[in-house]
């Protein structure tokens, strides 16, 4: 897509610090990292978000993910790593070409908050069963 910043990174018209590339995916350093080693993995094909991702693109993308995670782990020996993908602006997506963040974690003060307050008391087993049915109805199983 001509006006997509990540398509331009993939085709080399915008510079990036490349980590990995194969026929289907491209991984590069996030220009505004949260922690040392923060990396983005994108499909070479322009796909807006997870909702629009063809299965084959997902297969190829995730096939590369362990390689990248392990390379970052070997390089910097973090305590852990979050892999995060934001879909839609409400969820924090700012670049509308799918990307998976690899964020190595070194300490609790790095500013990433992934803990949430559970609302378990609002969701009884009956309610969860009904939610499950509603979602299953939408899958072509």
Which positions are catalytic?
99
Question: 19, 39 in Cβ contact below 8 A?
Answer: yes
Site membership for ligand 5GP, residue 12 (CB under 6 A): no
Site string for Zn ion, 7-46 (x = CB under 5 A): x--------------------------------------x
Round to whole Å and give the CA distance between 110 and 136. Answer: 38
| The two structure tokens encoding residue 40 | 């983005």
Closest approach of ligand 5GP to the CB of residue 39, in Å: 9
Round to whole Å and give the CA distance between 21 and 3. Answer: 21
DSSP state of 138: H
Closest approach of ligand 5GP to the CB of residue 26, in Å: 11
Contacted by 83, from Zn ion, ligand 5GP, none: CB < 5 to 8 Å by type: none
C-beta of 21 vs 36, nearer to Zn ion:
21
What residue has token string 């009884």? 124
Indicate left, alpha or beta for 30 from its phi (over 0: left) and psi (-120 to 50: alpha): beta
List the interface residues with ligand 5GP, window 53-92 (CB under 6 A).
86, 92
Binding footprint of ligand 5GP on the chain (CB under 6 A): 5, 14, 16, 28-32, 40, 86, 92-95
């Amino acid at each position: 897509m001509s006006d997509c910043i990540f398509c331009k990174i993939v085709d080399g018209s915008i510079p990036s610090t490349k980590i990995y590339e194969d026929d289907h995916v491209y991984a590069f350093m996030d220009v505004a990292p949260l922690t040392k080693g923060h990396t983005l993995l994108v499909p070479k094909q322009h796909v807006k978000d997870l909702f629009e991702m063809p299965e084959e693109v997902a297969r190829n993308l995730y096939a590369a993910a362990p390689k990248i995670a392990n390379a970052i782990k070997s390089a910097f020996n973090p305590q852990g790593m979050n892999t995060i993908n934001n879909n839609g602006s409400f969820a924090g997506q700012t670049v509308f070409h799918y990307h998976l963040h690899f964020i190595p974690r070194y300490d609790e003060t790095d500013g990433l908050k992934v803990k949430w307050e559970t609302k378990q008391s609002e969701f009884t087993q009956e309610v969860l069963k009904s939610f499950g049915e509603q979602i299953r109805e939408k899958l072509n199983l």
